[in-house]
Amino acid sequence: MFQVNYIQLHETMKEKYGDLHWWPADTVDQIIIGSILTQNTAWKNVEVAIKNLSVANKDNLHAISEMEIDQLREYIRPAGFFNQKSGYLKEICIAIEKAGGIGKVGEFNDQELEKFLISIKGVGRETMQDIMLYAFRRKVFVVDKYTERIFSRIGIIEKGMKNAFELGKEIEKGMKIEDLNNFHGEIVEICKNICQTNPKCNQCFLKNDCNYAKDFTDP
DNA sequence: CACCAGGAATGTA
DNA sequence: TACATTCATGGT
């Protein structure tokens, strides 16, 4: 079995999916809302929650920043963890408003933006990366559970690197932002459509490069 | 019925 | 630093 690198992995998936135009949302505000709501939660449930906000014309940071927590909780209930997420969501909306809104926060440099986001309760490493890349178009590679799964199965963690996060820092330096955007989208799509629904991975178009598929074919 | 989903905070050792 | 636990709905 030959060893693929991250560029080859991206090229293979790009060929299949084309430009994905991630993140799946209509507005920047929806991207930020979705990044909180999708924490350890199926995207389908997040869509319902965002729809609830949207039909009430509350799918924006300003509306949420001044919404009663009890009401917010009912809108987002389908996305699970609603007691925590209602608080997290209101917190990040207030924090951005307080910092002068999306426009002002968008003027932060990468380091300032990362520090600002990670200081908000409910925003951890991956959520911060999602918002950096997809809401503020910064050169960031997102490492989520799917990324760790794919990288581990395909075995592209390079020697000297401990985990997907370390490789991610290399990937950030080595790829253009539009490729970083697509790459993470591709990883999520392939995991949602194939690895997740077919745990044995035997229908995956990456199967020749996938350690997990190899394990499956072994007796 | 059991298990998991595009995590993060909190507590323990 | 490295794990374990908790949070909660909806699909398979």
The encoded tokens of residue A184 equal 């993470």
The 8-class DSSP code of residue A4 comes to P
- Please, which pLDDT band fits residue A219 given cuts at 50, 70 and 90? very low
Nucleotide nearest to A134 (CA to C1'): B6
Residue with tokens 């927590």, as numbered in its chain: A69
Within 7 Å: CB of A136 and strand C? no
Least Cα distance to A139 among A103, A179, A101 occurs for A179
Within 7 Å: CB of A87 and strand C? no
| pLDDT digits 0-9 by tens, A187-217 | 999 888 776 655 555 445 565 556 554 443 3
Could you give the CA distance from residue A45 to residue A56 in angstroms, rounded to a whole number?
A: 17
Of residues A153 and A88, more confidently modeled: A88
| pLDDT digits 0-9 by tens, A34-82 | 999 999 999 999 999 999 999 999 999 999 999 999 999 999 999 999 9
Span CA (A145) to C1' (B1), Å: 26
Extents of the domains making up chain A: 6-21+141-214, 28-135
Buried b or exposed e, range A187-198, using 16+ CB within 10 angstroms: bbbbbeebbeee
Which nucleotides of chain B are near protein (any atom < 7 Å from a CB)?
4-10
Note whether A6-21+141-214 and A28-135 share their fold: no
The 8-class DSSP code of residue A135 comes to I
Angle between helices A43-55 and A69-76 (to 10 degrees): 130
For residue A76, count other CB atoms closer than 10 A to its CB.
24
Contact between residue A142 and residue A186 where contact means Cβ atoms under 8 Å apart: no
How high is the mean pLDDT of chain A?
A: 89
Nucleotide nearest to A145 (CA to C1'): B6
Could you give the CA distance from residue A39 to residue A34 in angstroms, rounded to a whole number?
A: 9
Within 7 Å: CB of A122 and strand C? no
pLDDT at residue A204, rounded to an integer: 57
CATH of A6-21+141-214, one of 1.10.1670.10, 2.60.120.260, 3.40.109.10, 2.40.128.110: 1.10.1670.10
Could you give the CA distance from residue A168 to residue A156 in angstroms, rounded to a whole number?
A: 11
Is this prediction's pTM over 0.85? yes
CATH 1.10.3720.10 describes domain A28-135: no
Task: Choose the weakest-confidence range: A104-113, A165-174, A199-208.
Answer: A199-208
Could you give the CA distance from residue A34 to residue A79 in angstroms, rounded to a whole number?
A: 10
